[in-house]
Homo-oligomer: A and B are copies of this chain.
Amino acid sequence: MRDRILRALKGEPVDTRPIWLMRQAGRYLPGYRALRARHSILELARTPELAAEVTLEPVRRFDVDAGVVFADITLPFAGLGIDFSIDPGVGPVIPRPIRHRAQVDALTPFDPEASVPFVAEAIRRFCAASDRPLIGFAGAPFTLAAYLVEGGPSREYAEVKGWMYRDPEGFGRLLDRLTEMTEQYLRMQAAAGASILQLFDTWAGVLGRSSYARQVAPRLTRLFDHLRELGRPTIYFSTGSAHLIDEIAGLGATAVGVDWRAPLGWVRARVGPDLPLQGNLDPAVLLGPRELLEAEAAEVLGEIPDGGSHIFNLGHGVLPATDPERVGQLVDFVHSAGAARR
């Protein structure tokens, strides 16, 4: 197995910077688009041979140091008895949002082998076909709760924050259920062959620091504590969360994924020299010319000049309008320029 990324996550010396890209398997790739012309996102995700094929496409095209399973953070909702869809141009839609304690108590007990076995099977198929480590992932409890309570993406998050303030215990019960679900879901992915587990907390940044410290951080700390038994490195990714960096650094994840907003050097200065960091090129840079791409990627590399414990990535997912050629240029540039900055 190509173990560059695993070594970086352990803080061991590497020959160059490892790189993978969030959403590297997806919307900008021709093979994926061809499949999507015939199948919905959920059909793709729930059909292991197709999900594995989508996961493999970027690994065959580019010299990325890991694959990331094609899935969606909402998939396990079905195992809680929650009806949902993924609507093109909108994202996840939950027709009957969860806004009361009684709805939390009525959720079905989660059994990953019964409700999301296809994710495990897609992972097994990828691992049989590739020498690259496979990154499994799940949504973090607050981000999942935000979707469930709002009923979909939101701008103000008034429903979820309103519930959190009005009834911290009832809302906390929802977070607890989602924390347990996430742990089981990630355990299944590790058992199927995932070498790395990433937690996506996309909406954590909408919380003020004291709310995050009260409601979110203790549950994540417990989750990472349990996941440690699996012996797999973990990565915690969130966006718009520079104000939470002290709490995030203390969660117990192996590494922290950083969005494109705060320079990695700024984050490094705050979290200390030992915590591996992942990120953080602005995905919109891939929409520009190659010269800009290389200059901006060099800037990211330069933020961690010694290369210590850095996994190169975008600061968010690859944008659909991205030219696949730019992705290949980025991967090659990082591998070649990163060798000089170890």
Which residue numbers of A lie inside 8 Å of B, CB to CB? Answer: 153, 155-158, 161-162, 164-166, 205-211, 240, 242-243, 260-263, 266, 282-285, 287-289, 292, 296, 299, 315-316, 319, 321
Closest 10 CB pairs of A and B: A161-B284, A162-B287, A243-B262, A242-B243, A165-B288, A242-B242, A240-B240, A166-B288, A243-B261, A208-B260
With contacts A165-B284, A288-B162, A288-B165 taken as known, whether A261 is within 8 angstroms of B209 at the C-beta atoms is yes
CB atoms of B289 and A166 under 8 A apart: yes
30 contacts between A and B (CB under 8 A): A156-B283, A156-B319, A157-B284, A158-B283, A158-B284, A158-B321, A161-B282, A162-B321, A164-B284, A165-B282, A165-B285, A165-B292, A205-B240, A205-B261, A206-B261, A207-B261, A208-B260, A208-B261, A208-B262, A208-B263, A208-B315, A209-B261, A209-B263, A209-B266, A210-B299, A211-B282, A240-B240, A242-B243, A243-B261, A243-B263
Minimal Cβ-Cβ distance residue in B for A246: B266
CB atoms of B240 and A282 under 8 A apart: no
Q: Which residues of B contact A242 (CB under 8 A)?
A: 242-243
Minimal Cβ-Cβ distance residue in B for A321: B158
Cα(A143)–Cα(B164), bound, Å: 30
CB atoms of B155 and A153 under 8 A apart: yes
Cα(A214)–Cα(B196), bound, Å: 36
Q: Which residues of B contact A261 (CB under 8 A)?
A: 205-209, 240, 243
Closest chain B CB from A119 CB (angstroms): 25
Closest chain B CB from A91 CB (angstroms): 8
Minimal Cβ-Cβ distance residue in B for A161: B284
Cα(A53)–Cα(B209), bound, Å: 37
Minimal Cβ-Cβ distance residue in B for A296: B165
CB atoms of A287 and B158 under 8 A apart: yes
With contacts A165-B288, A166-B289, A284-B165 taken as known, whether A209 is within 8 angstroms of B262 at the C-beta atoms is yes
Minimal Cβ-Cβ distance residue in B for A205: B240
Q: Point out the residue from B158, B205, B289, B299 that lies within 8 Å of A319, measured CB to CB.
A: B158
Q: Which residues of B contact A316 (CB under 8 A)?
A: 156
Cα(A311)–Cα(B258), bound, Å: 32
Closest chain B CB from A182 CB (angstroms): 23
Cα(A260)–Cα(B243), bound, Å: 10
Q: Which residues of B contact A284 (CB under 8 A)?
A: 157-158, 161-162, 164-165
Q: Point out the residue from B165, B207, B209, B299 that lies within 8 Å of A287, measured CB to CB.
A: B165
Closest chain B CB from A333 CB (angstroms): 16
Q: Which residues of B contact A205 (CB under 8 A)?
A: 240, 261
